[in-house]
Amino acid sequence: MTSGDDGSPSGSTFGSASSDGERLQKVMAAAGVASRRVSEDLIAQGRVSVNGEVVTEPGRRVHQSDLVSVDGTAIQLDTTRRYLMLNKPVGIVSSLADENGRPDLSRYTSRYEERLFNVGRLDAQTSGLLVLTNDGELAHVLAHPSFGVTKTYIAKVQGDVSAATVRKLTTGIELDDGPIAADTVRLLGKPSRGQSMVEVELHSGRNRIVRRMLNAVGHPVVELVRRQFGPLHLGSLGAGQIRDLTKVELGQLLTLSRRDGAVRNDAATDGAADPERDDR
């Protein structure tokens, strides 16, 4: 994604385009994929597709709504879109304007010109990876319950978690709103006597699901952090820090959001996931 002198995204390359669109190599260069000359080579080599169709002619004209991929990885043609990763600290609610006056995400988004919003939610006592964007379609699709984006959490819990409990969490337990099973669960060690560290990976978007699952097997959560959301990893980003996604991360996220056209259509039909939903 290109940016202006102040670090904010520059205007879209389609701003002055004719109704016939812009040449593919030009929008690829504007999106930061490569120079126009290299983009032409990528096209000639059959490495670029538009709406799922391989394109080999550099003169192909595209529109901002077209889905362009290079080597199977999606790129964003609209350079006005912004994608950020926040390491949300404990005590911050996942709202841009909390009606109860609690600390919210506005302290992080106010520095940006774009109107940003969060993809999904983390409850106030859960820290970790939260995506902020002004790309409404991507946010709606990734937050939609039927899409099932995988998330990974590290939980410090009360008690010594046994191998039998790990099996129970992955084979399935019954909660008040139905059965649930984690994709994977790993014991990471014991931070202190009477406590355990557990890694939980799952794709459910049900309300406070990690906390409820661990409580149901007798291990209430002491601390909970989301380390991964789909292809994105929190890495070394400190609590309260925020940054733009790298080009590689953005490509992975866009590819994920486009991988299933049926899900995209379902999300557009059903609307965004419940904004009050809290899937931690």
Which letter does DSSP use for residue 89 in this model? P
Structure tokens at 85: 């990763």
In the set 104, 123, 135, 279, the catalytic residue is 123
Q: How far is Cα 116 from Cα 138, in angstroms, rounded to an integer?
A: 12
Q: How far is Cα 144 from Cα 141, in angstroms, rounded to an integer?
A: 5
Whether 23 contacts 61, CB under 8 Å: yes
Beta-bridge mates of residue 191 = none
Report the run of H or E that residue 135 belongs to, with start and end: none
| Known catalytic membership, residue 78 | no
Q: Identity (one letter) of the amino acid at 87?
A: N
The Cα angle at residue 51 between residues 47 and 52, in degrees rounded to 5 = 55
Residue 205 CB: number of other CB atoms within 10 A?
22
Helix, strand or coil for residue 7? coil
Q: How far is Cα 181 from Cα 143, in angstroms, rounded to an integer?
A: 19
Which letter does DSSP use for residue 192 in this model? S
* Nearest C-alpha neighbor of 144 from the set 120, 121, 177: 120
Helix, strand or coil for residue 215? helix
Q: Which residues are catalytic?
A: 123
